[in-house]
A and B are shown apart, each in its own frame.
Chain A
Amino acid sequence: MVVDAGNGHIGGDLSATDILATLYFGVLRVDPARPDDPERDRFILSKGHCAGALYTTLAHRGFIPLDELRTFMAPLSRLNGHPDRNKVPGVETNTGPLGHGLPVGVGAAIGAQIDGARWRTFVLTGDGELQEGSNWEAAMTAGHRGLDRLTVIVDRNRFQQGDATESTVRLDPLADRWRAFGWAVAEVDGHDHAALLELFNRLPLEQGRPTCIIAHTTKGKGVSFMEDRAEWHHKVPSRDQLARALEELKDE
């Protein structure tokens, strides 16, 4: 997709893919036949630049045709570089600017709380994205209201566009920060499907508190020459690199 489009955010796509696959195939109560079902679980991709990973997951889950993935970022494709809920079924809100997903997720969770509804809200954020203050406004509200049907997963790949998060603006101690805002926190290997599932099956981790799962991941996961290299945030692989990457991913 990214090679064909000549554009995209492959590093973050690969760090988030295992989380997305676990959610869509093991956790979320969603139905491609009824994407607007009021009782569906909500999933919000706050790191909207990883739309490529979301589209791939939605396609495998039956929300959009698999062969449509080839149109990623092509003129007039539904599959914009950042997701559009008015075009792509399964997308809950339009993201792209960072720090937008969590406030929307908090609003959805408050809506469910008002109704006493059973559905849950999941938000996937990047880690660098947590430098946006809007996340902490929303985290404060969620903690205050005890939104225990809300779960945030932080894709903790430790890199942002220009450099490592910790040499840009430090996020650690990240778990303590979420706890201080009233959240229950767990840390997990974000590429370990079984460990992720085990955690998701125990939600909420604490009654009366929203949950934050810090998923430790590797940017560019599964491709040796991409892993933990900041330049692969939005670099586009050559055809040769693509072939090598696919070969390596096959073995993962």
Chain B
Amino acid sequence: MSESPLHDCRHAFSDKLLELGEEDERIVVVNNDSVGSSNTGPFRKRFPHRLVNVGIAEQNLVGVGAGLANAGKIPFVCSASCFLTGRALEQIKADVAYSNANVKLVGISSGMAYGALGPTHHSIEDFAWTRAIANLTVVAPADPEETRQAVHLAAHTHGPIFLRLSRMGVPEIYARDYRFEIGKASVLRDGSDLTIIANGVMVARALAAADLLAAAGVSARVLNMATVRPLDRDAIVAAARETGAIVTVEEHTVFGGLGGAVAEVVVQTVPVPMRILGVPGVFAPTGGAEWLLEHFGLTADGIREAALELTRSPGAAA
């Protein structure tokens, strides 16, 4: 793994939110007793009347967010991703997405970031649930800079969005001159033998895997597919056409997430061999977040192995 210092993207999130709050008084925060876990304490301190804590009540959390949007506010509804998406999915569908309410849903500590707290607190179904809903943008930033820009764009783009953030340490991938666009994948490394498509905390690991593959004589393109919906179909089709094989990597179940979304495009355009890496449809055993990623092969080595196996499989491009 990279030896660069690791960053908790919640800090980039809360710094940016505070900055936006200074610029626009319509920005408010809605919490479900989650001020600490969402790192919105600084916002509460600066704007006490613009932080609404509804208590431990997620259905109400999202409904209140939709109501605040109706009142002309720009609410950032911040909660642990497992509770936000699992408990309040119908409110997300009806009150936010179908109503086209200008609500910014922020799922904190997504994936398996809660580690040994166990599967109740893991949020490895949230891509599948949210990307199935019409009129809902779904974004999982990879590092602090992309997080800052995603939060900025969420505030300045009218309409519903789900930001899937983590608390796991990630290295800096992007410099300040990077320009994140909703719905556009970014090519972090070009390659010709296969493409690795990842997002969120898996992007740094995908880049490390590409280094390992290069040492083995395999040239891997790496795409950061931060936006799961709307998906960058052009980047996927180009990857399939130009590299002939695709490995997707996500901190999510392999059912219906990033891999599923990419496969839906690939099979209908340029069918090429794929491998979908993620949590293989089980509830995770007890273990810390890093340990769980290793357990499920969601590491540079795990990606490398899958990529080598894929490029050697029949049907893969020579």
On A, residues with C-beta under 8 Å from B are 38, 42, 84-86, 92-97, 99-100, 102-112, 114-115, 117, 121, 133-134, 137-138, 140-141, 144
Which of A86, A93, A109, A140 neighbours the largest number of chain B CB atoms within 10 Å of its CB? A93
| B66 in the interface (beta carbon within 8 A) | yes
9-residue interface stretch from B51-59, B194-202, B287-295 = B51-59
Interface-located stretch among B94-102, B216-224, B225-233, B252-260? B94-102
Is B64 part of the binding interface, using a Cβ–Cβ cutoff of 8 Å?
A: yes
Contact A103 B94 (CB under 8 A): no
The reply to whether B101 and A93 form a contact with Cβ atoms under 8 Å apart is: yes
B71 contacts A112, C-beta separation under 8 Å: yes
B33 CB to nearest chain A CB (Å): 12
Min distance, Cβ A137 to any Cβ of chain B, angstroms: 4
Given contacts A103-B66, A134-B91, 9 further A-B contacts (CB under 8 A): A86-B100, A93-B66, A93-B70, A103-B60, A107-B64, A107-B65, A108-B71, A114-B28, A117-B71
Chain B contact residue count (CB 8 A cutoff)? 31
Whether B60 lies near A110 (C-beta < 8 A) is: no
Contacting residues of chain B (38-80) with chain A, CB-CB under 8 angstroms: 49-50, 52, 54-55, 57, 59-60, 62-73, 75
Q: Which residues of A contact B57 (CB under 8 A)?
A: 137-138, 140-141
Cβ distance A105 to chain B, nearest Cβ, rounded Å: 6
Residue contact A108 to B52, C-beta cutoff 8 Å: no
Q: Are A134 and B59 in contact (CB under 8 A)?
A: yes
B70 contacts which of A42, A86, A117, A133 (Cβ < 8 Å)? A42
B54: chain A residues within 8 A (beta carbon): 137, 141
**Complex Cα gap A110–B98 (Å):** 22
With contact pairs A100-B63, A108-B70, A114-B50 given, residues A85 and B55 touching in the complex (Cβ less than 8 Å):
no
Known: A134-B59, A138-B63, A138-B64. A114 touches B99 (CB 8 A): no
Residue in B49, B50, B68, B94 whose beta carbon sits within 8 Å of that of A107 in the complex: B68
| B67–A111 CB distance below 8 A | yes
Nearest-CB residue, chain A, relative to B101: A93
Chain B contacts of A86 at CB under 8 A?
Answer: 99-100
B90 contact set on A, CB distance < 8 A: 97, 100
Asked if B64 contacts A94 (CB within 8 A), the reply is no
User: Are the C-beta atoms of A103 and B70 separated by less than 8 Å?
Assistant: no
Chain B residues whose C-beta falls within 8 Å of the C-beta of A38 in the assembled complex:
72
Residues of B within 8 A of A (CB): 28, 30, 49-50, 52, 54-55, 57, 59-60, 62-73, 75, 90-91, 94-95, 98-101
Closest Cβ of chain B to A39, distance in Å, is: 10
* Contact of A111 (CB < 8 Å), options: B55, B72, B94, B100: B72
A138 touches B94 (CB 8 A): no
Complex contacts, B95 vs chain A, CB 8 Å: 93-94, 100, 103-104
Cβ 8 A contact of A104, one of B30, B55, B66, B98? B66
Q: Which residues of B contact A96 (CB under 8 A)?
A: 94
**Is the beta-carbon distance between B63 and A107 smaller than 8 angstroms?**
yes
Inter-chain contacts of A114 with B (CB < 8 A): 28, 49-50, 71, 73
**Interchain CA distance A100-B60 in the complex, whole Å:** 8
A92 — which chain B residues lie within 8 A by C-beta? 70
Q: Are B59 and A108 in contact (CB under 8 A)?
A: no
A99, A106, A111: residue with the most chain B Cβ atoms closer than 10 Å: A111
Which residue of chain B lies nearest to A112 when distances are taken between CB atoms in the complex?
Answer: B71
**Who on chain A is nearest to B99 by CB?**
A94
Q: Once bound together, how far apart are the Cα atoms of A95 and B98, in whole Å?
A: 10
Partner of A109, one of B28, B59, B67, B100: B67
Q: Which residues of A contact B52 (CB under 8 A)?
A: 110
Q: How far is the CB of A234 from chain B (nearest CB, A)?
A: 19
Q: Complex formed: what's the CA distance from A107 to B65 in Å?
A: 6
Chain A residue with Cβ nearest B50: A114
Contact A141 B94 (CB under 8 A): no
7 A-B pairs closest in CB distance: A107-B67, A111-B71, A103-B63, A107-B64, A137-B60, A137-B57, A134-B59
Given known contacts A38-B72, A93-B95, A97-B94, A106 and B67 CB-to-CB distance under 8 angstroms: yes
Q: Which residues in B have their C-beta under 8 angstroms from that of A121?
A: 67
A104 touches B70 (CB 8 A): yes
